[in-house]
Amino acid sequence: MQMLRKPETLFVLGYMLLPLLALLSAIVGLTMILGGNKIAGIIVLVVVTQVFAFGAFFALRARKSALLEETDPR
């Protein structure tokens, strides 16, 4: 759990991994919709893609606060 509080790990999650997974899940959702599986495609597109997108947002916010704590001269 300590690993998820490091700014380097949060950088990788927020700027690389989670946005890439959001993009891939959006592609999968659109492919499912175009392939005829509309309900599952919409669920993947709306739910799964948004989970990854908001996860990236929260990782970047946590990185910002971790960097501020790191440079705090207390």
Range of the domain at 14: 7-70
Cβ atoms within 10 A of the Cβ of 29, count? Answer: 21
pLDDT confidence bin for 3, thresholds 50/70/90: confident
Give pLDDT, residue 22: 96
In a domain, 13, yes or no: yes
Q: Which tokens hold the place of 1?
A: 């759990």
Residue-wise pLDDT for 36-73, tens only, equals 999 999 999 999 999 999 999 999 999 999 898 878 76
In a domain, 54, yes or no: yes
Average pLDDT over residues 22-39: 96
In a domain, 2, yes or no: no
Average pLDDT over residues 17-26: 96
Residue among 38, 3, 13, 42 nearest 25 (CA): 42
Report yes or no: 44 and 28 within 8 Å, Cβ to Cβ. Answer: yes
Give pLDDT, residue 32: 96
In a domain, 58, yes or no: yes
Q: Letter for the amino acid at 58?
A: F
In a domain, 30, yes or no: yes
Q: How many domains does the chain have?
A: 1
